[in-house]
Amino acid sequence: QSVLTQPPSVSAAPGQKVTISCSGSSSNIGTNYVSWYQQLPGTAPKILIYDSNKRSSGIPDRFSGSKSDTSATLDITGLQTGDEAGYYCGAWDSRLNVWVFGGGTKLTVL
């Protein structure tokens, strides 16, 4: 069971918007930086968002992040079939003294 909680799957049609949530606690999301990673099938994770809402270099503005208290959210607008992937949130946990990740959310673009 992951320390950060994400929905196992989300789906939407091309061109639509999807929101992926990531719920944590005061020792991780509440006090440390949140990052989001995209993992296309058969590939390594790739950084999308860091510091809760900053896009990594080359990431289109269709991807955006936010944080409120002990939860974070990744929004993807204008969905494309190429966005089908697993998405993971991550943060340092100051109480456990480890990096923690969400269990991952599989995005299906219908």
d(CA 37, CA 19): 14
Q: Which two tokens stand for residue 80?
A: 């494309």
Q: Within positions 12 to 51, which residues make up the interface with another protein, using CB under 8 A?
A: 32-33, 35, 37, 43-47, 50-51
**Cβ-based burial of 83 (10 A; exposed 0-12, middle 13-18, buried ≥19):** buried
Q: Between residues 98 and 110, which has the closer beta carbon with respect to another protein?
A: 98
d(CA 98, CA 24): 14
Q: Between residues 17 and 54, which has the closer beta carbon with respect to another protein?
A: 54
- Using CA atoms, how far residue 90 sits from 2, 16, 47, in Å, is 11, 25, 10
Q: Of 56, 70, 77, 108, which one interacts with another protein (CB under 8 A)?
A: 56
User: Mask of contacts with another protein, 57-86, x by CB under 8 A?
Assistant: ------------------------------
Positions touching another protein (CB under 8 A) are: 2, 32-33, 35, 37, 43-47, 50-51, 56, 88, 90, 92, 96-104
